[in-house]
Structure 1
Amino acid sequence: MLRRISARYSRGFIAALLAVAALVTVANVGPARATVPTGAAHPSEQGALPAGR
């Protein structure tokens, strides 16, 4: 009986380790960072307002 219990706990422990490894891998995979700054993204910062304002 002890052999069955230890096998059950070892399977659970291995499953937990695999789940943590999968979560860490997914957390580290993300969108790539921009290497070149694109400048101002807001239209008012680019001087695109109409002349009357």
Structure 2
Amino acid sequence: MLRHISERYARGFGAALVAVAALVLAANAGPAKAADTSPAGQVQQVHHRG
């Protein structure tokens, strides 16, 4: 009985470690950097009527 309980806790602990590692990796990934740092030109908006 004790062995089954410890196996359950070990699986839960392992899953928690994987989840924390995934969150840390995702947090460190950050947003992608733009390749071109020059300011963008004017954008012309088109209004469709219909």
Q: Which runs of 4+ in 1 moved over 6 A?
A: none
Q: Percent identity?
A: 68
Q: 1:3, CA displacement in angstroms? A: 0.5
Give ranges in structure 2 of 5+ residues lacking alignment.
40-50
Give ranges in structure 1 of 5+ residues lacking alignment.
40-53
Q: Which residue in the other structure is 2:23 paired with?
A: 23
Structure of higher RCO (CA pairs closer than 8 Å, 6+ residues apart): 1
User: What TM-score does the superposition give when structure 2 sets the normalisation length?
Assistant: 0.62
Q: Structure 1 residue 13 and structure 2 residue 23: aligned?
A: no
Name which one, 1 or 2, has greater alpha-carbon Rg.
Answer: 1
Backbone CA RMSD of aligned residues: 1.9
